[in-house]
Amino acid sequence: MTSLRVRKLTYAALYLAIALVLPFVTGQIPQVGAMLSPMHIPALLCGFMCGWPWGLAIGFISPLLRSVLFGMPPMFPDAVSMAFEMAVYGGLAGLLHRLLPKKVWVTYVVLLIAMIAGRIVWGAVHVILAGMTGSSFTWAVFLTRGFTEAIPGIILQIVLIPVLVIAMNRAGLSLNK
């Protein structure tokens, strides 16, 4: 195994650990966790720093593993739909960050594209799961849960993630090459 692969595996494991632990900062209050979306941050960072395959994998695994280990988020439908959402976050952030110029404004564009695409996938998976169970997932619920209630977390991600990505790129810590 090459040194770069070992470093990517180590970083990815660190991002997974952060994704499992960071929600404890919200005090396990579901409303606060839903607003701040703390698990999204490590998935996005993993994509930016380790590349799309690692970001996709960590994004997909972390909500499912956290549900199994700690019971939060509930497995169905929340952890399942979050797994697809966060896989898109990490995968798309990593892919676009690798392909596009490493400029500050591009980092913001990549982040916004990944966040919007992930939310759309989250909504689509929720619609499919609702159809399988006979429940409903309306446009109003999608907008409320996916955007309105998540505004604090969206703002946190837009402020925090580019600063961290830019700092880690400048420090030579990015493995997304």
- The string of pLDDT tens digits covering residues 141-168 is 888 888 888 899 999 999 999 999 999 9
- The structural domains of the chain, ordered by start, are 3-170 (1.10.1760.20)
pLDDT at residue number 1? 66
φ, ψ at 72 (rounded to 5°): -135, 130
Lowest-pLDDT range, 8-12, 23-27, 68-72? 23-27
With a cut of 90, say whether residue 133 has pLDDT above it: no
What mean pLDDT value characterizes the chain? 92
pLDDT at residue number 22? 92
Find, among 154, 151, 23, the residue nearest to 79 by Cα.
23
Distance CA 42, CA 158 (A): 13
The amino acid at residue 144 is: T
pLDDT at residue number 30? 65
φ, ψ at 137 (rounded to 5°): -140, 95
Across 1-26, average pLDDT: 92
pLDDT at residue number 55? 98
Long-range own/partner contacts, residues 62-70 (CB < 8 A, 24 or more apart):
62/16, 62/19, 62/20, 62/86, 63/39, 65/16, 65/20, 66/19, 66/20, 66/23, 66/39, 69/20, 70/20
Find, among 49, 62, 64, 66, the residue nearest to 10 by Cα.
49
pLDDT at residue number 145? 80
Residue 170 CB neighbours (<10 A): 10
